[in-house]
Amino acid sequence: MDNTMPILLVPGLVSSPRIFAPVTPALWRYGPVTVANHVRDDNMAVIARRILAEAPPRFALAGHSMGGYIAFEIMRQAPQRVAKLALINTQARPDTPEISERRRGQIARAKAGEFHAILDELFPLFVHPSRRDDADLRQLIHDMGDDIGADAFVRQQTAVIGRADSRPTLAAINCPTLVLTGDEDNTIPNRLSFEIAEGIFGAKLTILPQCGHLPQPEQPQATADALVEWLRL
């Protein structure tokens, strides 16, 4: 295969490289795979700028949830460097005031030592209703939380609260784009993925059945298949 391209994966809030582990083996055949570090800064533009400084000159970009917010910022800063774009269980809208207030509450609790309690509360929102008793998925959330740590969680939430509205820039995205979501995402409803797909000319929308907010571990084969098809474009 002589048309390989570097692949840059950006995890979501309180997610580490573990989130992409179930699909990485299917992707590396199409180019070297890097998972971006998104835990060092508390400003979305700065996070994107630092990732770009460490990224290959040109790459295929896939962002999951908060990683999608970062991907939108990367597209604003350096669209010429992104050959293909995948937006996984994310949205183009900014927070509502109510959601920002909820995040601030989680920030305060994380600083007060309640980080693992927050992870337990987030878990049922992250997974498909049929997976709420899945001990392995719950352990994954806690393992990734330990990877990230409470301080980085606070930085991430601060960056997410301050992110830009990406809806006005959807029409400027002109690279091959996949919009991937689950049929029952209780964190970012899939109607917001429809909105993204409608705003980006030629974008392909894929909805995975029996899937919540974490398609990589919930539906690894279907997620890998969708990403491989995207990489083949």
Give residue 2's pLDDT: 56
Domains and CATH numbers, the chain: 7-95+157-231 (3.40.50.1820)
- Residue (of 115, 152, 118, 122) closest to 137 by Cα position: 122
Q: Is 133 helix (H, G, I), strand (E, B) or coil?
A: coil
Six-digit token pair at 30? 């199409």
How far apart (Å, rounded) are the C-alpha atoms in residues 83 and 175? 6
Contact indicator for 94, 41 with CB cutoff of 8 Å: no
Tell me the mean pLDDT per 10 residues along the chain, length 233.
Answer: 84 98 97 98 98 98 98 98 98 98 98 98 97 97 98 98 98 98 97 98 98 98 98 92
